[in-house]
Amino acid sequence: MLSVAPMMDWTDNHYRTLARLISKHAWLYTEMVVAETIVHQRNNLDRFLAFSPEQHPIVLQLGGSNLENLAKAAEFANAYSFDELNLNCGCPSGKVAGHGCFGARLMFDPKFVADAMSAIAANCSVPVSVKCRIGVDDHDSYNELCDFVYAIVSNSPTRHFIVHARKALLSGLSPAENRKVPPLKYEYYFALLRDFPEVQFTINGGITGIDQVNAARRQGAHGVMVGRAAYNNPWSTLRHVDSAVYGIPTSSLSRRQILEKYQMYGDSVLGKYGPGKPSIRQLVKPLLNLFHSEPGNGLWKRKADAALRRCKTIECFLEATLDAIPDSVLDSTLHRSPSDWEGSFADIDGMLPPPYKLSLQQSMSVSACLGISN
């Protein structure tokens, strides 16, 4: 399975519409939606939760640290038929981790996370999952990560974790730095596959293209999540997902055809929720990286900047800018095929930490659950 990560201000409805035109089968995640927003906006939920049927499979990511609100949010979201509900336990942003103690800070309290996942699961009819880091601050040993996973698996219906293979540093680093400075420890991820065979794990962090996706899958990864590469270069990143990951023929749409379809979508939703909600700029934003590294890309972006000052529709915007891109680029449906690149995973088996061992208390808990007496 390949998925596109939840990214604040990026993986909104507009980006997901574009991504689905490129790949029919990649799993798409919403931006994180705070549980309190859903609860307090219950009469305006379409603005936050509605999506077109074409966006399936799609996952709603929730943020929050209040059990009652998480339960209510799951109940309200259930009416929208997402394919999975996910809890954010990995975002190190001060806007998240320092507000109401959620995001990556939740990794300090696995009991709460288990309770939260149970509350979410009890109020929806789809699977639930956790997105987390491999650790937080100096709580970054493999055993501590396993303790976190074990506590949640043992005390909630959660059987899917998306693991960003870096720890989060809550002080001293910006969110952008937290995506680059802490070292990647893919060996922690692959050790989880060994130590929790009943759980599904998706690997995230530092994976920027289909070659790396396939290398991780060949090494045994259950699923792979791609983040900013899927936004900064959507055509190259998502173009071969259907064939390379799912064994289904890649869409034959060219970028010109994709833009024609996106125009129909964009012009139909302009101002849907009031003046400027969404705006022409919000709708154009996901398009600006569609010609990453292609001939004419620089001129296209300069023309886009000028067009956004005067255009009121996507049709006008495209008419004013697309002559910057050669027809050979606009109409091509071809792209290079994925390679057998091994990269960061080739020697991972020799780097795995020692197997996780349950404490005596955990072993007794397992025995109690299984009805085994000493």
Binding residues for FMN: 6-8, 61, 131, 164, 204-206, 227-228
**Rounded-to-integer distance, Cα 301 and Cα 191, Å:** 44
**Rounded-to-integer distance, Cα 36 and Cα 351, Å:** 42
Q: How far is CA 244 from each of CA 11, 129, 144, rounded to the nearest angstrom? A: 23, 25, 35
- Closest by Cα among 372, 362, 373 to 152: 362
Please name the amino acid found at residue 211: D
**Rounded-to-integer distance, Cα 212 and Cα 342, Å:** 7
**Rounded-to-integer distance, Cα 19 and Cα 371, Å:** 48
**Rounded-to-integer distance, Cα 237 and Cα 242, Å:** 11
For the record, the structure tokens of 350 come out as 């020799």
Q: Is 316 a catalytic residue?
A: no
**Rounded-to-integer distance, Cα 121 and Cα 115, Å:** 10
CB neighbourhood size of 313 (10 A): 14
**Rounded-to-integer distance, Cα 122 and Cα 226, Å:** 29
Pick the catalytic residue from 91, 132, 146, 311. 91
**Rounded-to-integer distance, Cα 30 and Cα 243, Å:** 24
**Rounded-to-integer distance, Cα 158 and Cα 281, Å:** 38
Give the DSSP H or E segment for 160.
strand 160-164
**Rounded-to-integer distance, Cα 62 and Cα 178, Å:** 21
DSSP state of 358: -
Count of positions (residues) in the chain:
374
Residues with catalytic function: 91
